[in-house]
Structure 1
């Protein structure tokens, strides 16, 4: 059990993005240097005052590097503390050191907060040597308990703040992953749908251009409208991405969000598409409305693109007491292998799962291809 722990510690990298030095870092070091100089002048009771002053004036500036070079700062700080213990060990002159030197107690915190695993182990040993010697020389139980408590608390606080930062970073990464997945679904469900509609209408226009120019002109108008919708929704999503670049940005919806009331728009893709609604579909939460529309949209797009010789694509949405059921069926020849799972099928399954529902797609036993989904009416928070 100890070996895996040691390996995990040794593999721990430095904490990323240590804060740069700020004005209050300089103010703190400046105040400590002034305090040390004042003690050197006015405290005649300090044994080995010249040595204590020199050590303090050398050690205190190391606090400026406690985040960017935590091991070096710890070595300088507690190395100076070890130097101050030498007169006490040699001649028993008492406590040698200035009160300003207590600032080195912030270094164990910085070590565990910012250093890598190997640096933290080496730094702990560096801190332990003068701390152990000083407590042993003291011989007072109260000093031993108090000094040990302060050091352990400094280490523990640094470790706790590091763990909190890591947990926050993981949470941020998880949110970003979810956002990327949502954007991928939105891009696939909106842009791919409109582009498929454009391609289908263009094929239809080519077929009738020679025999019915008026119908070809109408087809071009449909293509223009679909292209405009595609451009609008792309711009909307780009605005979402740009507005989300700053940490304090206000949430922006992916809009325009479609719902069950917009399902009739799917009939514009092909005359074989039929939409039927039934049951209680009033008062549904927006996430459910959007999921129903997007799943139906993707299913119809797939049917028109992949079903061979389809004469009908039927969309049925039914509201029950606790769930909303949808079924999209085409009567064409299923050109898609049942084992093929594309981004569209994956996106539909993810949408349903995120709301606590389920979505299944595959060849229908009676012929053609069927997509069925069940979504709860109430979205869990």
Structure 2
């Protein structure tokens, strides 16, 4: 379940898991041969190999891998009961399921994680129903699987809470840093800009008191001072907007573009706009902050443009995908392709500059038939790939 460990430690953890799995298979086979004889060990070990193999690649098949493991365990219970084989799930399957269930409870969103936990409990219940307990106590196989499910639940929830605590601490640190920067901008930069504006205004008053200021060199000075005042006022207004952005946690760039953050963004858009189909990778590499923030900003700006220029759109799709080298963000709608959208705007220019600054590409334009599409491709540095 060490999905947050560095690459080397993850490899060591997987090797250790493989050794434990191999030992569990050997012990299980030896126990079945000693008590049942013959080839009764083969079916249980085969099921254990399948489930444990899925557990070893769980980071690539988080949701569906766990579902497949639970399905194999349920099928093993049914086949063992029908063919009068040793009760399943055996120790190897129980070990693999514990790893899969615990890892999913830790990493998946709340609803899928709860479903996985319920599936694990269903397997334990199925074991009890297929192999009724003796006259006193609980059957050994049921107790083994119940203990494995309980351990997976406890460890998965514990690590999930620990991850949430770490994220909360990181968010608090980022928020404090944004507030510190906002205060410095407001107290230092804004103070100097205000001084420049006041001095330009004062200089204009002095110039107006001079005879003949409407023509000659003084007129040029008056024009220059008016330009300085206007530029200072615009800069001060922009500074205040930046301070407002820094103080607004909702508008700040996320340090990590987790699927939950994109879902929150989509939900806020859907409150006033059309339905959005969001697709994000179940398992992804750890993107650097600048890539994660750009992914979030491309989606945010694209949805904002749809709300402004295509209110008639009935559906929107947001696809975030990645391979070993690139992250691709595609946002498309089915609204009318108005002329205004062809000309773009500062939002599109800002997106393109931000993407190209990271070595990526961005293209935007009308879709065949109707609608508008934005597609950004961002390279992922090799040092952050798995």
The interval holding the TM-score normalised by the smaller chain is: 0.3 to 0.5
What's the TM-score once normalised by structure 1's chain length?
0.43
